[in-house]
Amino acid sequence: MPGEEDAHVDIDGERVHRALSALSDRSPLVHHLTNAVTTSETANITLHWGGLPVMADAPAEAADMAAGADAVLLNTGTASRDDIDAMIDAGRSANDAGSPVVLDPVGYGATPHRVESVGRILDAVDVDIIKGNVGEIRGLAGEEAAVRGVESVDEGDAIDGAARALAAEHDAVVIASGPVDVVSDGEAVYRVTAGHERMGTFVGSGCMLGSTAATFATLAHGDVPPLGTHTEAMLIATVAFGVAGERAAAGDPPGPASYRTAFMDAVAALAVEASGIDAAGRIHTE
């Protein structure tokens, strides 16, 4: 991971604004092999952040598309064995191209198939970022976790150790999403206090965070990357995602569908004008 030797990051609102401007300028291509339930949501949020989404999950072309992408997202939410084969091909292609790979192990621990599938990916592909809910991250770290279907029913206590251990094991940056998001690079652990409880009232917000992570990961790559590390990119991504959720709730939409629309609008607005974000006040270290 480029530049990951420095575990300390210093992020303020201006840094977030520059990152969002860089996404608009670069329009990175983000290749999704993703959850069939949330394809529209993940494509749209990638677009609203300034990226270009593509959903080419056919085994015949997954690797070829990944070779030309700026980042690849592997989301196992509805993956069959053939889908996992395509994900592995795409992940390896991205590794060869030097592009970041983000793994979203949706529902890990719920069934043997999901455990086996995620294990196959991790054995075959070098992943740069692992984004999951508390139950998924705990399970991947070898701890006892509570997952029901694809949802975590874990209370989230002491997730810091699991996030740090998982990041160290895979030389990756880990995002454990929850009421307070935890980000770790295997050494430092950061807690991000941004977001709103209404973000959990519609299906797809977790997958959208995975797409957000993949889009922002591109900023730590390229000949002159705007960001030096994946750690910095993921902290900015989680702050921006959470602030958009707060701004969407500020208008008090009457229901979950209208809130989802307001959230998408807030992302698009934030990507254009990121003023007023107290990023430094949202990120806390141990």
What's the pLDDT band for 203 if we cut at 50, 70, 90? Answer: very high
DSSP labels, 124-186: HS--SEEEEEHHHHHHHTTS---EETTEE----TTHHHHHHHHHHHHTSEEEEESSSEEEESS
Give me the half-sphere count of Cα atoms (radius 13 Å) on the Cβ side of residue 38: 27
pLDDT for residue 2 = 38
pLDDT for residue 146 = 57
Is 177 annotated in a binding site? The answer is yes
63-82 confidence digits (pLDDT tens): 999 999 999 999 999 999 99
pLDDT for residue 158 = 77
142-170 confidence digits (pLDDT tens): 987 655 544 444 454 579 999 999 999 99
Is 55 annotated in a binding site? The answer is yes
What's the pLDDT band for 242 if we cut at 50, 70, 90? Answer: very high
Is 204 annotated in a binding site? The answer is yes
pLDDT for residue 8 = 54
pLDDT for residue 3 = 37
pLDDT for residue 171 = 96
Instruction: Compute the distance between CA of residue 286 and CA of residue 282 in angstroms, rounded to an integer.
Output: 13
pLDDT for residue 150 = 46
Instruction: Compute the distance between CA of residue 115 and CA of residue 84 in angstroms, rounded to an integer.
Output: 12
- Mean of pLDDT values over 233-262: 95
Q: Give this prediction's pTM.
A: 0.91
Q: Is the pLDDT of residue 274 over 80?
A: no
Q: Set out the domains of the chain in order of their start, with CATH numbers.
A: 13-285 (3.40.1190.20)
Residues 134 and 156: beta-carbon distance below 8 Å: yes
DSSP alpha helices (H): ranges in the chain?
13-26, 39-49, 62-67, 81-97, 112-124, 134-140, 159-170, 205-217, 230-250, 256-272
- Which of 5-9, 154-158, 216-220 has maximum average pLDDT? 216-220
